[in-house]
Structure 1
Amino acid sequence: MKTRVEPVFCSLKPKDVIGVAAPSARFDAQAFEKGVQCLESMGFQVYIPNGVTGRHRYLAGTDRQRADVLNLLFADPGIKGIIAARGGFGAMRLLPLLDWDSIAGNPKLFMGFSDTTALISSLVSKAGICALHAPNLVSLGRADKKTLDSFAKTLTGCFTRIDLPSDQVLAGGRATGRLVGGNLSTLVHMIGTAYQPDFRGSIIFMEDVGEPAYKIDRMLTQMKMAGVLDGVKGVVTGSFENCDNDAYIPEIIQEVFFDANIPICMGIDVGHGAVNLSLPMGGNAILDADHAYLEWDFSVK
């Protein structure tokens, strides 16, 4: 059996260089520039590589172009962090084209959310690198203060305890494990591939946007029937933004995990909502449903 690698969080400091990748969809140039200005206002230098503004159908360039940018950014010792330009779709297509040995040998902090869940999950499981579930570059320029404060603190290694809504605790208890997961739709599409997430012994985080309750039900049911949820030690969910009949979602989650006897909390301000707090993914987290909080305890490099 393959031995798990304990991921390390590669925190950043002021004046570090953050490279921009575009692993998914095309992006708006004005929103992109606002995001760059936001990073610079935080004291970071921003490197925009050639080819990051490519266009191929709905994607930001061909698969090879987008993968080459990521491989080059990870291999460059002067780049200390990498942020995804935006989500949408396309990150999954890059996974077989990435140089995973080189990436594992050059650990650095990767940031993004939504479609970039495919990269975050694979960085944790294949390369042993903690990643940051956080706003993409185009999201930063329009982010509110709470989102920006969380982003700035977390990528520099200041892991702030997050209080959870006590009225959205679905099952009590306390669990410790690696925090993994991200966008539910993306995670489901990875089932059956060589990059299928391994949630055993972990606390799983989930969020989504634009998916009606019956599709959330179908996705979670598929995950359970595929055995992907076996061994999960805790569940915490973010926002289910613009999801029809979202009032059904708590009941669906309780049904899926009814026999697991694990803590389950909902309502964390993470995802596609107005507030998108940053979550260090891959390191040890503590989910305390009895006292309604989530906090971290893992290595920082």
Structure 2
Amino acid sequence: MRPSFTAPATLRPGDRVAVVSPSFAAPGRFPAVHERAMTRLRDEFALKPVEYPTTRRVGADPRDRAADLMAAYRDPDIRAVLATIGGDDQLTVLPHLDPAAFTADPKPYFGYSDNTNLLNWLWNQGIAAWHGGSTMVHLGRPGGLHPESAASLRAALFGGGDVELRPADAFSEDEGDWNDPASLEVEAPTLPGPGWHWHQPDRVVTAPTWGGNLEILHWNLAANRWIRPVEDYAGCVLLIETSEEMPAAEEVFRMLRNAGERGLLAQFPAVLVGLAKASSIDRPTARQDRDRYREEQRAAVLRALADYNPTAMAVFDVDFGHTDPQWVLPYGGSLTVDGPGRRIVAHYPDNRGR
């Protein structure tokens, strides 16, 4: 049966928060970006960041990264845990985690991308968390925090109540070079937001969320270790988004097809699909090609839904995941997708708990 979720605790100004690197220790490679993020965490959110031994240690052993996570959760003075960035090997950290360290004090965890591994692991322990909130990418953002990202993170940290999401008027997907000090001062160029694309908006669904980065979910399915019986996801809202590696549309379809063959894709009455990143610093693409890429991504998801969940409602190009601005969304917490009203409402509970 689906776990009963413990809502993330709400913070107060002055609280101490752990800043950890369970995946790539980007602060060790790009200290200037990290320091800027920590300054903003202190100055703009009135929180006290606490680093751990592997926060800046590039290539740290998975057991050491697991030890840092457990130390953060066991420390009663730490009230939230924030991931610095994603990576590609957090799956190897999970076997070294002791669930008791997390369930005794289920404080909120923030992360996305490779952190889908830990979000999913916490979900299995009945601990709701937050999808989003990278310190390096969004707190260390050139030109300052994006107002929508900051407001979303603030709502998740401090309890914002019911917040209606809005399509971004403009977004950015062109990164600067973190090795170039000049790029840290220049805000990235923006493109007009595409708005949301609704598919079969014929119902209202309020339910816990599950999902995250599609590539990482596929790894979890392949490992066959951290996925529950498919019935445990029945009625949830599925969140899916793709990374800066920009998987081809056919690959997206195949990953969803595999989930469909397992019976997993059929469990979700509503699906939110993040705005697909269509260019990166390692794979820059011409702007005229980006709209076509996103159209192909939407078509791939719709093709999989037609085969494995034809009655599902879906919303495309929502600003979460690998995008700027980024909504920090409940993970295991509650989200409302109102098809007839064309509305999405995230529920950020005020749960002081102390």
Q: Give TM-score scaled by structure 1 length.
A: 0.91
Asked whether the 8 Å contact 2:274–2:321 carries over to 1, the reply is: yes
Asked whether the 8 Å contact 1:8–1:300 carries over to 2, the reply is: no
* SS in structure 2 at match of 1:80: strand
Change in CA separation of 1:40 and 1:167 when aligned onto 2, cut-off 3 Å: closer
1:83-102 alignment to 2 at 5 Å? 83-102=82-101
Deviates further, 14-23 or 289-298: 289-298
1:255 CA drift (Å): 2.1
1:1-301 alignment to 2 at 5 Å? 2=1, 4-27=3-26, 28-41=30-43, 42-56=45-59, 61-126=60-125, 128-139=126-137, 140-142=139-141, 143-159=145-161, 160-163=163-166, 168-173=197-202, 174-191=204-221, 192-196=223-227, 199-209=233-243, 210-242=246-278, 245-258=293-306, 259-297=309-347, 300-301=350-351
Runs ≥4 residues deviating over 4 A: 164-167, 297-300
Distance 1:200 1:172 in 2: 19
Q: Spell out, residue by residue over 1:272-298, the C-alpha distance to the aligned partner (whole angstroms, 9 max, x if none).
A: 122111112112221112222222458
Distance 1:103 1:167 in 2: 36
Asked whether the 8 Å contact 2:329–2:346 carries over to 1, the reply is: no
Asked whether the 8 Å contact 1:170–1:264 carries over to 2, the reply is: yes
Q: Spell out, residue by residue over 1:35-73, the C-alpha distance to the aligned partner (whole angstroms, 9 max, x if none).
A: 1111101100111123322222xxxx1111111000100
RMSD over aligned Cα, in angstroms? 1.9
User: Structure 2: where are the runs of 5+ without partners?
Assistant: 168-193, 280-289
Asked whether the 8 Å contact 1:199–1:229 carries over to 2, the reply is: no
Deviates further, 160-169 or 269-278: 160-169
Change in CA separation of 1:251 and 1:190 when aligned onto 2, cut-off 3 Å: same
Change in CA separation of 1:68 and 1:33 when aligned onto 2, cut-off 3 Å: same
Change in CA separation of 1:6 and 1:167 when aligned onto 2, cut-off 3 Å: closer
User: Structure 1: where are the runs of 5+ without partners?
Assistant: none
1:90 CA drift (Å): 2.1
1:144 CA drift (Å): 1.7
Q: In structure 2, what residue type is equivalent to 1:169?
A: W
* SS in structure 1 at match of 2:49: strand
Distance 1:271 1:138 in 2: 14
1:93 CA drift (Å): 1.0
Aligned length in residues: 295
2:176 aligns to what?
none
Asked whether the 8 Å contact 2:20–2:83 carries over to 1, the reply is: yes
Change in CA separation of 1:296 and 1:271 when aligned onto 2, cut-off 3 Å: closer
1:148 CA drift (Å): 1.4
When Rg is computed on C-alpha atoms for both structures, the one with the higher figure is 2
Asked whether the 8 Å contact 1:25–1:88 carries over to 2, the reply is: yes
Distance 2:345 2:207 in 1: 11
